[in-house]
Amino acid sequence: MVDRIMKVNAYTTFDLLDGEVEGHGFEEEALAVLNVTAPRKNPDHVELQLEMDNTDLDAVKPHADSVTLSAAQARELAAELEEYAEKVETAQSE
């Protein structure tokens, strides 16, 4: 990805995922970077960050989105991901 906003390195959670941007009157696909992090000193939250490859997008300007989660919210999200991962694995094994 050219002109990244997020720092992407060996510690980035996922890079080059398949992403999709959807809005009123448009839908585009692009590579994406998804990262989960927390402050190094005195962590008080978990941050979920997403950036789409802006070279593949025409409808949105280059940007990165982030969500700040409490520890409890991060665990709730992790549980939801586990639940849906199980559904996908079960469906694929049938």
Q: Please check whether residue 39 lies inside any domain of the structure.
A: yes
Q: Please check whether residue 25 lies inside any domain of the structure.
A: yes
pLDDT tens-digit series, residues 59-75: 998 899 999 999 999 99
Q: Please check whether residue 67 lies inside any domain of the structure.
A: yes
What's the total number of domains in the chain?
1
pLDDT number for residue 2 = 64
Q: Please check whether residue 4 lies inside any domain of the structure.
A: no
Q: pTM to 2 decimals? A: 0.86
Pull the structure tokens for residue 50: 């997403």
Pull the structure tokens for residue 30: 């692009």
d(CA 63, CA 32): 12
Closest among 65, 27, 71, 30 to 49, alpha carbons compared? 65
Pull the structure tokens for residue 15: 């890079």
pLDDT number for residue 87 = 97
Q: Please check whether residue 49 lies inside any domain of the structure.
A: yes
Domain that holds residue 73: 14-93
Q: Please check whether residue 9 lies inside any domain of the structure.
A: no
pLDDT number for residue 94 = 87
d(CA 11, CA 9): 5
Q: Please check whether residue 8 lies inside any domain of the structure.
A: no
Positions of the chain with pLDDT lower than 70, given as ranges = 1-2
